[in-house]
């Protein structure tokens, strides 16, 4: 199976597409690693930023951190990553400033704004849409391990060529290595960056210390029939950010097409909050026997998941049901959820959706109690880059809960996402 997130340079392992986030304190690191289900990462001491990832990339070096440290500010792009000949070319792109990778970058303003990660694996069409415009808007130099004719086709100019292997010559600093984050017992964080997502998460979720539960606190919990209890349960089970993040992890582990089977749909529903169903349809040369070879992809224990296969429609379709792990990190109390209601502005969420040009519709606002309301939100016809934008938006909006998430692939394996959820206030 192709793993575009892993790269070997001069016999040294490197990890790509880490989730970089500014954090305020050690509690923030612990919480965010659990929230992302990414307990490993590269912590940049003194910068107040962590690149989160998963166990398969332990002991690899965060390539974005290496590039940022070497070139200080700018953009780096290469096509020297794992490629699938059946798909369009993918590129690794790193946006960085002041020697650290950027959490995310914004292109354009208002309704024309596009957002993506600062450590991203992008398709050719995504690079064409993003890189040149961002470089021009911010007067940034592009360093690349890529041919000039390809860069020209993708709409940008390379200021400096450098072979990717040269980044791994000699000793690579241990400070860039991916380790289990709980091993960082003496994290000292620098100042916060000007990124709203991290600030919002830190403000709402990360107290300086977590008080031990007391008998008085237990008695103060309201009956299970209250609206607050029901909403808290839904947030803990199916907040949109957690759902989309786990879907992204699963997609990174499964092939699009292999052994005569091609992916057709991905389905999540709140009624089964810890299950993701992926359906493959048979193609030329496919059979039940070749489909059973997919069992090699079901060894997901390192990701805290289990899965099983079954065939249906006269063995013309194959279903992989993946049992996702319980999100212990989102086991928020009713008291914390109530605080979210007091401090969250959902108008900002809708504005972010509008700026990202997501196709959405809003339902009527329905009161659940004198203090809590619910409003249905539907998002449709989303491309992969918009899916990533929605993850970034949802990361600071825990009151956005997923009801259903459906990803449908066409015959060319291009995916279209349809999401229905509820926004609580």
pLDDT tens, N- to C-terminus, the chain (425 residues): 678 899 999 889 999 999 888 776 676 677 667 666 788 999 887 777 899 898 999 999 999 999 999 998 999 999 999 988 888 889 999 999 989 998 878 776 544 557 788 898 888 888 888 888 888 888 899 999 988 889 998 989 899 999 988 888 877 878 889 999 865 544 433 333 323 323 222 322 333 333 333 333 333 433 445 888 888 888 887 888 888 888 887 777 788 888 888 889 988 888 788 788 889 999 888 888 888 777 776 655 445 556 677 887 888 888 888 877 655 445 677 777 777 776 666 676 777 777 777 788 888 888 888 878 888 888 887 777 788 888 888 877 778 888 889 988 887 778 888 889 888 88
How far is Cα 377 from Cα 360, in angstroms, rounded to an integer? Answer: 7
DSSP letters for 166-212: GGGSSPPPGGGB-EEGGG-TT----PPPS-HHHHHHHHHH--SS-PP
How far is Cα 38 from Cα 127, in angstroms, rounded to an integer? Answer: 26
One domain for residues 414 and 277: no
Give whole-number Cα distances, 409 to 110, 250, 384, in Å: 30, 16, 11
Quickly tell me which residue has 């059979």 as its tokens.
287
One domain for residues 28 and 171: yes
Q: Nearest to residue 91, comparing CAs of 140, 158, 43, 137?
A: 158
The answer as to whether 393 is a domain residue is yes
- The last residue of one of the domains, among 323, 349, 368, is 323
Q: Which domain holds residue 57?
A: 6-183
Q: How many domains does the chain have?
A: 3
One domain for residues 157 and 37: yes
One domain for residues 303 and 351: no
The answer as to whether 341 is a domain residue is yes
For 221, the token pair is: 């919990």
Whether the model pTM is above 0.85: no
The answer as to whether 197 is a domain residue is no
Quickly tell me which residue has 């989160």 as its tokens.
52
pLDDT attached to residue 94: 94
Judging by beta carbons within 10 Å of its beta carbon (0-12, 13-18, 19+), is residue 341 exposed, middle or buried?
Answer: middle
pLDDT attached to residue 183: 53
- The last residue of one of the domains, among 323, 353, 368, is 323
Q: Up-side HSE of residue 425: CA atoms within 13 Å toward CB?
A: 15
One domain for residues 378 and 262: no
The answer as to whether 207 is a domain residue is no
- The last residue of one of the domains, among 305, 323, 341, is 323
One domain for residues 156 and 64: yes
The answer as to whether 20 is a domain residue is yes
One domain for residues 77 and 221: no
Q: What phi and psi, each to the nearest 5 degrees, are found at residue 155?
A: 90, 25
One domain for residues 263 and 236: no
pLDDT attached to residue 67: 93
How far is Cα 290 from Cα 285, in angstroms, rounded to an integer? Answer: 9
Report yes or no: 280 and 262 within 8 Å, Cβ to Cβ: yes
The answer as to whether 209 is a domain residue is no
The answer as to whether 194 is a domain residue is no
Q: Where are the alpha helices (DSSP H) in 318-369?
A: 334-343, 346-355
Q: Nearest to residue 239, comparing CAs of 419, 384, 397, 32?
A: 397
pLDDT attached to residue 343: 60
One domain for residues 83 and 70: yes
One domain for residues 227 and 273: no
One domain for residues 131 and 277: no
pLDDT attached to residue 336: 78
pLDDT attached to residue 342: 65
Q: What is the DSSP letter of 182?
A: G
The answer as to whether 190 is a domain residue is no
Which SS3 state, helix, strand or coil, does residue 166 take? helix
One domain for residues 132 and 233: no
């Amino acid at each position: 199976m192709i793993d575009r997130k892993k790269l070997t340079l001069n016999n040294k392992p490197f990890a790509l597409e880490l989730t970089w986030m500014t954090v305020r304190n050690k509690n923030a690191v612990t919480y965010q690693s659990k929230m992302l289900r990414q307990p490993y990462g590269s912590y940049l001491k003194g910068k107040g930023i962590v690149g989160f990832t998963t166990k398969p990339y332990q002991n690899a070096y965060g390539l974005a951190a290496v590039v940022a440290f070497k070139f200080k500010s700018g953009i780096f792009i290469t096509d020297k990553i794992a490629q699938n000949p059946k798909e369009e070319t993918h590129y690794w792109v790193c946006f960085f400033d002041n020697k650290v990778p950027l959490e995310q970058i914004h292109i354009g303003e208002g309704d024309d704004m596009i957002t993506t990660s600062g450590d991203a694996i992008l398709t050719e069409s995504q690079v064409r849409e993003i890189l040149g415009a961002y470089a021009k808007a911010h007067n940034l130099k592009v360093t690349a391990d890529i041919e000039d004719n390809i860069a020209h086709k993708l709409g940008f100019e390379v200021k400096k060529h450098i072979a990717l292997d040269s980044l791994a010559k000699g000793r690579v600093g241990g400070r860039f290595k991916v380790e289990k984050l709980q091993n960082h017992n003496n994290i000292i964080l620098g100042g916060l960056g000007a990124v709203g997502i991290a600030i919002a998460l830190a403000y709402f979720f990360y107290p300086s210390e977590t008080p031990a539960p007391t008998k008085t606190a237990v008695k103060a919990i309201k009956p299970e029939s209250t609206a607050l209890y029901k909403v808290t349960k839904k947030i803990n089970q199916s907040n949109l950010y957690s759902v989309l993040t786990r879907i992204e992890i699963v997609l990174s582990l499964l092939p699009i097409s292999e052994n005569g089977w091609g992916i057709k749909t991905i389905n999540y529903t709140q009624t089964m909050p810890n299950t993701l169903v992926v359906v493959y349809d048979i193609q030329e040369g496919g059979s039940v026997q070749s489909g059973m070879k997919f069992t090699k992809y079901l060894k997901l224990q390192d990701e805290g998941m289990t899965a099983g296969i079954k065939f249906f429609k006269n063995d013309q379709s194959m279903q992989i049901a993946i049992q996702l792990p319980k999100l212990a990190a989102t086991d928020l109390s009713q008291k914390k959820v109530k605080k979210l209601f007091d401090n969250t502005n959902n108008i900002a969420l809708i504005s972010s959706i509008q700026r990202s040009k997501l196709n959405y519709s809003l339902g009527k606002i329905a009161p659940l109690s004198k203090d809590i309301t619910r409003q249905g939100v539907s998002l449709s016809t989303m491309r992969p880059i918009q899916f990533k934008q929605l993850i970034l938006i949802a990361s600071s909006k825990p009151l956005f809960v997923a009801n259903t998430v459906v990803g449908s692939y066409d015959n060319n394996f291009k995916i279209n996402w349809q999401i229905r959820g509820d926004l609580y206030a």
